[in-house]
Structure 1
Amino acid sequence: MRKQHHYLKLGLSLGLLCLAGLIPLLAQPPQQGLEVYLTSARQTSPLIRDNQLQIQGNALEAQRLLALYTKPLVQLNGNAQFAPIFSMDNGGVKPDFNSNGASRYYGYDLAVSNGGLYQGLVNVTQPISNLFRAKAYAEPLALASQISQAVIGLGQHDVERIVTDQYILCLQDRLQVQYTDSLLQVLSDQRLIVKKFVESSLLKQSDLTLVDIEAETQRNLRVGYQTAYRRDVLELNALSGIVDTTQVDLAPLNLTMAPDIGFAESGFTRRYALDSLTLRAQQNIFELKYRPQWIFNANGGLNTSYLPEIPMRFGFGAGVSLVWTLYDGHQKRLNAQRTAILQQSYGNYRRFMINQNDVRRERIRGELRGLENRLLVYQQQIAGYQSVLASYRRELLQGQLPIINYITVVKNMVAVRRDALLLQSNRQLLINAYNYYNW
């Protein structure tokens, strides 16, 4: 009777320990979630930062063009040129640094040099009715800023996918470690029970040795899984721009599929639409040359070629100039045709990208359906293993089952549970890919 009571206690211990052994027992350190890495990656990405600076630069360039085409240009010009001659008018040869009409001399021809040049002028140039030109030149810059903003959005989207994929990979590594720990805990508890059966001569010493061998195998596997986890966490830090080598515990992740964007403008194709608009804006700039351009000019100051008359040669002048292209070999028409052809090219890229992403989303949806079916199979297998283990425990207590059979079933059940959770991780990767293309 006491012996049966002893077997009953051992059986209850075996059942409870096997159940508890599948749950990690060690307390986990504070967890760090995905958003920490995403935020850091967005802030440290050089591509994103570069395009942000490009937007600021485009705004300043637009202000410069507005000043160029609408504001007056005021310049100060100064010239002093000496052209002395050697005059022979009054007999002999004598130098004359600023001749007033010599007829016989050596030196530059006075009709060409005027004996010198003395200028000190303030010039003012003011474009007339030129605001439309400033707007035309500023439009490509505004579109360039929108393109940079689209590139920032795409860059952030790419970073989010890469970092999230790496985060899921780290969770997979940690899952391997956790399930190895679970199996080691089961084997550790199992060893205590097997040892008692060996001491009671109900099991052989070789059964205890088998448990020890299996535990050593799992410890070796755990070292590899832990190394992979640390390696992938460090890579996650590198992708996120985080300078940290301490070990962290990552929070679980549960991604959901975003609603289908349908026929809405995709973030992948927005760039092509903006590129097409940029071509149109460049065509508008090209056509500005066919519109008349009036420019008001004025100057004032000193302007003379005869040094002694400088005090009397201060004055001013003003005028208007016109530039109007009337014919240039039909360049306007040819450039318009070129613009239309290039716009067709961007349209082709846009349609190709839309079709490509539609196919990719449908492919991922199909993979997710297949994955759900596989998960159902795993659940059925786990239920079957649990039933077999309950039967094996009874046979083990009665000495009718070798310990190796029991260990094999425990290993298989843990492996199936691990594979089921790894399949859940693959499901997260597929959802992340779907959300990437559904943007």
Structure 2
Amino acid sequence: MKKGKLFLLSGAMLVAAAALGQKKDLSFYLSMARQHTPVFDDLAGQRRSLSLDSAKLKAIYGIQVSADVNLIYAPVIHGWGYDKAITNGQDITGILSLKKEIVSRDNMQTRLQQFSIQGKQLDNQETISRRSIGQTVTEQYIACYGDQLQYLLAREISSFLAVEDHILLALTRTASFSQTDYLLFKVALQTQDLTEKEARGRFLNDLGLLNYQCGIVDTSWTELAPPPAEDAQPVAFNQSLYYQQNQLDSIQIDNTARVIHLNYKPKISVFGDGGYSSSLPGQAAKNFGASIGLSYSLPIYDGQQKKYALLQNNLLSESRQRHAAQRRRQYEGIVMQLNQQLHICEEQINASEKRLLYAKTLIIAGKKQLPTGGMRMADYLMGINNYMNLRATVIQNKIKRFLIINQLHNLLLP
């Protein structure tokens, strides 16, 4: 086998070993996290509560029915007691009453709109929660994937050095290679074995944290698929969740002002009752009856409560506008900052990959010259170390790139 093919051989061995474990992708972990997060059940409960509030409001403005029964006996003893002209001495009343406030369709729709707005705010909150969970889980997944790549790199180098060990040991036994150089190589091989074990432990630790975040009880080895490529450009602020939330807040404040005005409109109610009311003496059997009526109520003066309520609502509107302007500045500022970081990261990846080609070429050339003394062992090991560092730098920058794109894709403001 040609020495120049050792990297390809070790890489194939590594892929075969990794294929023995389970393979999962980001969508699996996102699905499990959302499934095991109670916040969505809480939001569903709040939606059901809103529908009940809507039904309660309709019931309040519907027909109200009540039943009242009164039994009164006011005795007069030796001339002492309530005036019978007032109490009739005794009284029995059983009345069934009906009442309904007359409200316009516009009035009812305005009041019901409060619940509709709150429902849309819950939808927006759910989207933000999904995005927050998605960002957190994706960040941890990317970190785990980076650990996996670092572990694979350590395995690749270990496999490469293990093949070299057999070759150099044979040369050392035939006195074709310095024993001192071989011992130096052996120390580097053992150090690399420790590095591989540390990389494996770091991956398993971060994988355990990922499982914890997603509500998964599992400690087995899992191979992670690469994170999916996503659009690095977020939506414009006017299409973002924060803009939608601001619009909903504005609509809610306007609706509250309309409700305040409605509370001071004249109120008209119709009512009716029927039943039995009698003082018993006389024609008690004929005291069954009924009545109907109309009531009109017009608020005239309430100590300027309406004025103060509207002023408070205006303060909320002004505060909303200030927060909306700040949100826009924050959103656009973070987008610019993340795009700048992404550009720098991509430049570093390109520069590191170019250097990596030279580092790999140096190792391949050193493999040929090492047995003949054309390259010192210390220089050869330094070349391998440089190659590892460059590969690790490329991995780190690619992981950083994934993280930046995740932030842009799931952009959330603090």
Q: Same fold (TM over 0.5)?
A: yes
Q: Hey, what does 1:300 align to over in structure 2?
A: 274
Distance in structure 1 (CA, Å) of the matches to 2:82 and 2:202: 88
In structure 2, the residue matched to 1:436 is 410
Partners of 1:297 and 1:320 within 8 A in 2: yes
The equivalent of 2:310 in structure 1 is 336
Give 2:294's aligned residue. Answer: 320
1:190 aligns with 2:164: yes
- Counterpart of 1:74, as a letter, is V
Q: 1:272 to 1:111 in 2, by over 3 A?
A: farther
Larger radius of gyration: 1
**How do residues 110-125 of structure 1 correspond to structure 2 at under 5 angstroms?**
110-111=84-85, 113-125=87-99
Alpha carbons 1:161, 1:432 under 8 Å: kept = yes
Output the CA distance in 1 between the equivalents of 2:130 and 2:249: 20
Are the equivalent residues in 1 in contact too, given 2:260–2:310 (CA < 8 A)? no
* Alpha-carbon separation, structure 2, partners of 1:200 and 1:19: 28
Give, in angstroms, the shift of residue 260 of structure 1.
4.5
Following TM superposition, by how much is the alpha carbon of 1:307 offset from its aligned partner in structure 2, in angstroms? 6.3
Corresponding position of 2:75: 84
CA drift at 1:419:
1.7
Indicate the residue corresponding to 2:263 in structure 1. 289
> Does residue 40 of the first structure (1) align with residue 32 of the second (2)?
yes
Shift of 1:256: 2.6
- Distance in 2 (alpha carbons) for counterparts of 1:365 and 1:411: 32
Q: C-alpha deviations, 1:271-327, integer Å up to 9, x for none?
A: 222122212212211111321111111111111233675422211111111111133
Partner residue in 1 for 2:64: 73
Residue identity in the other structure for 1:17 = L
Q: 1:129 to 1:21 in 2, by over 3 A?
A: closer
Structure 1 residue matching 2:66: 3-state secondary structure:
strand
| CA drift at 1:189 | 0.5
Cα distance, 1:329 vs structure 2: 4.4
Task: Tell me the distance in 1 between the aligned counterparts of 2:127 and 2:281.
Answer: 67
Q: What one-letter code is carried by the residue in structure 2 that aligns with 1:79?
A: N
Q: Given the alignment of the two structures, is residue 367 of structure 1 paired with residue 341 of structure 2, yes or no?
A: yes
Match of 1:62 in 2: 54
What are the residue-to-residue correspondences of 1:183-262 with 2, within 5 Å?
183-262=157-236
Tell me the matched-pair count. 410
Classify 1:305/1:224 alpha carbon distance in 2 versus 1 (closer, same or farther; 3 Å). Answer: farther
* SS of residue paired to 1:398: coil
State the distance in 2 between where 1:242 and 1:263 align. Answer: 35
Equivalent position SS for 1:119: strand
Q: Unpaired segments of 5 or more residues in structure 2? A: none
Q: Which residue of 2 aligns with 1:92?
A: none
Structure-2 residue corresponding to 1:388: 362
2:9 — aligned with what?
A: 20
Tell me the percent identity: 22
In the TM superposition, structure 1's runs of 4+ consecutive aligned residues that sit over 6 Å from their partners are: none
What secondary structure, in the 3-state scheme, does the structure 2 residue paired with 1:269 have? Answer: helix
Amino acid at match of 2:68: N
SS in 1 for 2:138: helix
Deviations 1:69-110 (A, max 9, x none): 1x2111111122333332x4xxxxxxxxxxxxxxxx234443
- Asked if structure 1 preserves the Cα contact closer than 8 Å seen for 2:366 and 2:380, the reply is yes
Task: Give TM-score, length-normalised by structure 2.
Answer: 0.92
Q: Distance in 2 between matches of 1:418 and 1:197?
A: 31
CA displacement at 1:243 relative to structure 2? 3.4
3-state SS in 2 of match to 1:58: helix
* Equivalent in 314, 319, 322 of residue 348 of structure 1: 322
Q: For residue 5 of structure 2, what is the amino acid of its counterpart?
A: L
Judged with a 3 Å threshold, the aligned counterparts in structure 2 of structure 1 residues 83 and 228 are, in CA distance, closer, same or farther, namely: farther
TM-score, normalised with respect to structure 1:
0.87
| Residue-by-residue CA offset, 1:192-224 (whole Å, 9 max, x unaligned) | 011011011011333332333222222222232
User: Distance in 2 between the 1:191 and 1:246 partners?
Assistant: 32
* Secondary structure of residue in 1 paired with 2:334: helix
RMSD of aligned alpha carbons: 2.2
CA apart distance, 1:341: 2.6
2:91 and 2:239 mapped to 1: Cα distance?
A: 66
CA shift in 2, pair 1:396/1:45, >3 Å: same
Matched, 1:136 2:89: no
| 27 and 154 in structure 1: CA distance in 2 versus 1, 3 angstrom threshold | closer
Cα gap change, 1:384 to 1:131, in 2 (>3 Å): same
Cα separation, 2, equivalents of 1:415 and 1:21: 18
Counterpart of 1:38, as a letter, is: L
Which position in structure 2 is the counterpart of 1:397?
A: 371
Contact 2:349/2:397, CA 8 A, preserved across alignment? yes
Distance 1:334 1:352 in 2: 27
Task: Say whether the 8 Å CA contact 1:22–1:183 is kept in structure 2.
Answer: no
Shift of 1:367: 1.0
Q: State which drifts further: 54-63 or 325-334.
A: 325-334
Q: Shift of the alpha carbon at 1:225?
A: 2.0
Shift of 1:438: 8.3
1:389-416 deviation line (CA, Å, top 9, x unaligned): 2332232131233333222212321221
Q: What is the CA–CA distance in structure 2 between the aligned matches of 1:43 and 1:343, rounded to whole Å?
A: 37
- Paired position in structure 2 for 1:9: none
Q: What secondary structure is seen at the aligned counterpart in 2 of 1:127? A: strand
Change (3 A) 1:112 1:244: farther
Of stretches 260-269 and 173-182 in structure 1, the one that deviates more from structure 2 is 260-269
- Contact preservation (8 Å) 1:115, 1:306: no
Letter in 1 for 2:267: Q
Is residue 258–residue 438 contact of structure 1 (8 Å, CA) maintained in 2? no
For 1:403, the aligned partner's letter is M
